[in-house]
Amino acid sequence: GVSILMEPILKYIPLAVLFGIFLYMGVTSLFGIQLFDRILLLLMPPKYHPKEAYVTRVKTWRMHLFTLTQILVLALLWGVKASPASLALPFVLILTVPLRRFL
């Protein structure tokens, strides 16, 4: 909202600087997201895993399987978003409610 009022000032800031700021904010916000942490755990030997609940309560292979499943579903959603089928996505999501209820 306030950025609209700052438009006369913002037009003097180079676009590359704004992109750099947003990239920095995005990368720094990745740490602390459980999916990103588990992706890093894929590359780390189990003896160096942190003592977090999501690491200690399940077997390592099951955690990695869940992480890979989430990555696959994320890639699938990203692919659907880029296609004309993306218009149907809200309806498919709504249909998951009765599907879950009857299964």
Tokens of 87: 């218009």
Instruction: Say if residue 1's pLDDT is above 80.
Output: no
Distances (CA, A) of 18 to 3, 7, 31, 71: 13, 13, 21, 29
**pLDDT above 80: residue 28:** yes
Q: Where are the domains of the chain?
A: 2-102
Q: Give the angle 52-57-59 at the CA atoms, nearest 5°.
A: 110
So what's the pLDDT on residue 89?
A: 83
Mean residue pLDDT across the chain: 90
pLDDT band for position 10 (50/70/90)? Answer: confident
Q: What pTM value is reported for the model?
A: 0.67
The continuous run of DSSP H or E covering 8 comes out as: helix 7-10
The mean per-residue pLDDT over the stretch 72-97 comes to 87
